Amino acid sequence: MSEDIDKGRRRFLTVATSVVGGIGAAAAAAPFLMSWKPSAKAQALGAPVEVDVSRLDMGAQITVAWRGQPIWIVRRSQEMLNMLPSLNNQLRDPDSAETEQQPAYAQNATRSIKPEFLVLIGLCTHLGCVPTYRPDIGGVGADWPGGFYCPCHGSKYDLAGRVYKGVPAPTNLMVPPHTYVSDSIILVGEHHQGSMA
């Protein structure tokens, strides 16, 4: 046998082995790489949630789920809104100075795009318990003006989700990203663009 034949055969076997090995590696890697892709259920959990607030009564609250968290939407009356400034001296962060607690468009006195509708993540900022909505004056004590009360450790929040001084919760309730699709449809999970009248 000549050396040319051996080199040709060797080259052929090397190429053939490389091709078969590459195909095998790709076939073995495909399921592994596909496992990194989020499932349809996981993608749906992170998707924005559309909420119709047209039937929400004044002073009422509804809860929807977004990313596995309770999202509260409260329709506040003018009386509820008028009371907010009078509580400032009792609150830890009345001006919502901690910007991580709400998007820039909700960093205002009412912590909302439209003052009438408050949108919050319904988890206490102390240990993640779910506070209760207690809008009734005197419902948690004689001096209770209405708001959110966490029964786990006694944290209190006003009707803008701002935390009172002297309670375990360190920060205000968080405002999730949200926007208005129309006057009565809120889209939770997408940031607001522009301003709403």
Please pick, among 126, 153, 178, 192, the residue that the annotation labels catalytic.
153
128-135 contacts at long range (C-beta below 8 A, 24 or more positions apart): 129/153, 130/70, 131/155, 131/157, 131/173, 133/61, 133/72, 133/74, 135/59, 135/61, 135/74, 135/80, 135/159
For residue 164, which amino acid is it? Y
Contacts of residue 53, defined as CB under 8 A and 6 or more positions apart, other chains included, come to: 62, 73, 75, 117, 184, 185, 186
Alpha helices in 36-147 (DSSP H): 40-46, 78-83
- Can 192 be counted among the known catalytic residues? no
Q: Which residues are known to be catalytic?
A: 153
